[in-house]
Amino acid sequence: MICHSNIKYLYIGKERDIFEEYANRCFEEIIKENLRSKGGMLIAPRAIWLADFLLIVTDKTYTNCLGIAAVNKRSNPYTFRDELYITQIAVKNDYKRLGIGKSMVQELIDNHNCDITCQINDFNTVSQVFFTNLGFEAGSGEDHPYFYRRNYYKSLKKTY
């Protein structure tokens, strides 16, 4: 398990000059090795450039990028509630199973009081387990079964 004092979180919004630089770095250092064409699970290599912001985990010297979450902010057209949509999340192969992926999602949960959603392909069973263990529920009924949601308002009801 990674020690939290050994990692840093960087939030980089699309409007910042360094967005492109970090997107390029994360693509080279993390996304590329996770592409399906390389035996990984990701099928949309350019998704990070379309994100509203990137949440990046680096080592404590900010030198190496270890994990990335590409996130879009949107208002749900049915509930009118704000939500974060994780379009892509990936951890560098050598750093998997150390809790980095979980810590990125937890960072989003702790700092944004809203629902968090993502879509996971049917073949990506590891990510289905990963998100389910973080309290996400797979879609049902009219929702696509591979659309996962962590319902902030439902958890609030549970809390109070």
127 is an interface residue for ligand COA by CB under 6 A:
yes
Could you say which of 22, 55, 88, 114 contacts ligand COA (CB under 6 A)?
88
Could you say which of 40, 45, 135, 139 contacts ligand COA (CB under 6 A)?
40
96 is an interface residue for ligand COA by CB under 6 A:
yes
Distance, CA of 47 to CA of 26 (rounded, Å): 12
Structure tokens at 146: 């591979």
What is the closest distance, in whole angstroms, from the C-beta atom of residue 127 to ligand COA in the complex? 4
138 is an interface residue for ligand COA by CB under 6 A:
no
Structure tokens at 59: 């080592």
Task: Map tokens 């919004």 to a residue.
Answer: 13
Structure tokens at 115: 């629902």
Pairing mode, strands 65-75 and 147-150 = unpaired
117 is an interface residue for ligand COA by CB under 6 A:
no
- Pick the closest to residue 87 from 148, 15, 24 (CA basis): 148
Residues in contact with ligand COA by the rule CB under 6 A: 34, 40-42, 88-91, 96-102, 120, 124, 126-127, 129-130, 133
